[in-house]
């Protein structure tokens, strides 16, 4: 109770550093992000804001991240206006501090940002229908299309983020350090990672030699990072912390990892976890309805593999954090990262079984969109 009070007092004084059009009244915790601390800011009117403390343990260049966000969201607002969409509901808007910066650095060296809260929106943790999955796919396709002609530099906020070669380096170091003393009890889980190293690296080589191109991508497209309106239509992609130039296949893979899971990311009963193929098909339909216009044929061919790649990478990241003493992801209990590891691995296994169907679905949708394009 006391801690909560102090924390809320602190957030009140932080939010007053930002030049908001309306003065803040209440500040309360918001959402379930694994990384940052997020608060909802009320005002006397209907207008609300979101205050967020960025995670300085993970993000080492927060001014660079904030620059990325300001530049890309400005680009999206212009695009959205030209497309007849409401720019203020099509992306996030950061507010400056009274001295004109888009972040505030407090006396504990924590970085804060403040943004407009887009009203009448819903955020989901799991997809509840194929329609919602379709809409989420269309949202990422539209986002990628809107940023496809953004040519300015972007800070590489998290170097090696989806680079499995880099992750294997971290993995070796974590195993050698054995910080939480768990390694000897995890032979089975470690083997899940080791067995698949080669096929994952083979995909990474295609990105390294630019057979698969680099584009502006979001890099964290799980369903809870998308806002939907009350009719289930996608509005915009949020949590732009990981905007970088990398392969857009990671965005597709990360979204499939989350939209097609029949259970939550930390479901302890792994027999409840599988890839939902109708949702896979719906997401892919929505996504390719935009993305077929700019993806190369090679990118399209590798979409199903990207889903396995990101699910594998996520299994590795949860397990590595468990081995490392839970320093990266927020956890609710000491075994949380191990439960998440098992859940991701169950999803990966299900994708491996369903892989031929996933490939067939992608190529059928792509071909039919191309055929329609030719005859229109």
Dist CA 267 CA 261 (whole Å)? 10
Dist CA 363 CA 298 (whole Å)? 11
Window 47 to 106, contacts with ligand GN1 (CB under 6 A): 58
Binding-site member from 67, 220, 281, 324 for ligand GN1 (CB under 6 A): 220
Pick the stretch among 95-103, 239-247, 250-258, 360-368 that binds Mg ion (CB under 5 A): 239-247
Dist CA 282 CA 192 (whole Å)? 29
Pick the stretch among 4-12, 238-246, 317-325, 340-348 that binds Mg ion (CB under 5 A): 238-246
Binding-site member from 67, 189, 239, 267 for Mg ion (CB under 5 A): 239
Dist CA 119 CA 121 (whole Å)? 6
The reply to whether 344 sits near ligand GN1 by the rule CB under 6 A is no
Dist CA 231 CA 237 (whole Å)? 16
Task: State which residue, 90 or 219, has the beta carbon closest to Mg ion.
Answer: 219
**Contacted entry of Mg ion, ligand GN1, none for residue 313, CB cut-off 5 to 8 Å set by kind:** none
The reply to whether 34 sits near ligand GN1 by the rule CB under 6 A is yes
Contact 11, 27 (CB under 8 A): yes
Contact 14, 51 (CB under 8 A): yes
Window 29 to 68, contacts with Mg ion (CB under 5 A): 35
Task: State which residue, 90 or 314, has the beta carbon closest to ligand GN1.
Answer: 314
Question: Using CB atoms, what's the residue nearest to ligand GN1?
Answer: 34
Q: How many CB atoms lie within 10 A of CB 254?
A: 28
Window 238 to 277, contacts with ligand GN1 (CB under 6 A): 239, 241-242, 265
Dist CA 303 CA 266 (whole Å)? 25
Please report, for residues 14, 115, 189, the alpha-carbon distance to residue 192 in angstroms, rounded to integers and kept in the order given: 45, 41, 5
Dist CA 230 CA 355 (whole Å)? 33
- Residue 108 CB, shortest distance to ligand GN1, in Å, is 21
The reply to whether 124 sits near ligand GN1 by the rule CB under 6 A is no
- Residue 331 CB, shortest distance to Mg ion, in Å, is 16
Binding-site member from 225, 315, 326, 341 for ligand GN1 (CB under 6 A): 225
Pick the stretch among 14-22, 27-35, 141-149, 360-368 that binds ligand GN1 (CB under 6 A): 27-35
Residue with tokens 């400005």: 74
Dist CA 249 CA 247 (whole Å)? 5
Give residues in contact with Mg ion (CB under 5 A): 35, 220, 239
């Amino acid at each position: 109770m006391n801690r909560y009070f102090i924390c809320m007092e602190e957030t009140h004084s932080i939010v007053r550093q930002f030049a908001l059009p309306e003065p803040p009244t209440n500040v309360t915790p918001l959402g379930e992000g694994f990384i940052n601390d997020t608060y909802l800011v009320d005002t006397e009117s209907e207008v609300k804001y979101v205050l967020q403390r960025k995670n300085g343990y993970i993000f080492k260049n927060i001014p660079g991240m904030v620059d990325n966000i300001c530049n890309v969201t400005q680009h999206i607002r212009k695009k959205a206006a030209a497309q007849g969409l409401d720019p203020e509901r099509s992306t996030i808007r950061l507010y400056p501090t009274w001295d004109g910066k888009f972040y505030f650095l407090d006396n504990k060296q924590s970085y804060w940002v403040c943004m407009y809260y887009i009203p009448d929106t819903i955020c989901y943790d799991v997809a509840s229908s194929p329609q919602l999955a379709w809409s989420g796919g269309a949202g990422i396709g539209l986002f990628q299309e809107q940023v496809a002609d953004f040519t300015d530099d972007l800070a590489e906020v998290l170097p090696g983020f989806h680079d499995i070669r880099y992750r294997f380096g971290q993995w070796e170091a974590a195993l050698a350090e054995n910080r939480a003393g768990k390694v000897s009890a995890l032979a089975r889980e470690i083997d899940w990672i080791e067995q698949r190293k080669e096929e994952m690296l083979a995909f990474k080589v295609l990105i390294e030699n630019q057979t698969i191109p680099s584009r502006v991508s979001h890099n964290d497209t799980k369903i809870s990072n998308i806002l939907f309106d009350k009719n289930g239509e996608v509005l915009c992609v949020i949590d732009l912390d990981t905007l970088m130039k990398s392969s857009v296949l990671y965005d597709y893979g990360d979204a499939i990892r989350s939209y097609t899971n029949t259970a939550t990311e930390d479901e302890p009963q792994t027999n409840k976890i599988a890839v939902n193929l109708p949702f896979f098909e719906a997401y892919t339909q929505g996504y390719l309805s935009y993305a077929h216009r700019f993806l190369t044929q090679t990118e399209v061919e590798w979409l199903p593999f990207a889903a396995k790649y990101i699910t594998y990478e996520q299994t590795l990241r949860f397990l590595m954090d468990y081995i490392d003493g839970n320093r990266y992801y927020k956890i609710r209990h000491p075994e949380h990262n191990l439960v998440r590891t098992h859940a991701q691995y169950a999803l990966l296994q299900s994708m491996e079984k369903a892989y031929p169907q996933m490939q067939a679905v992608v190529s059928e949708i792509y071909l039919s969109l191309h055929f329609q394009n030719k005859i229109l």
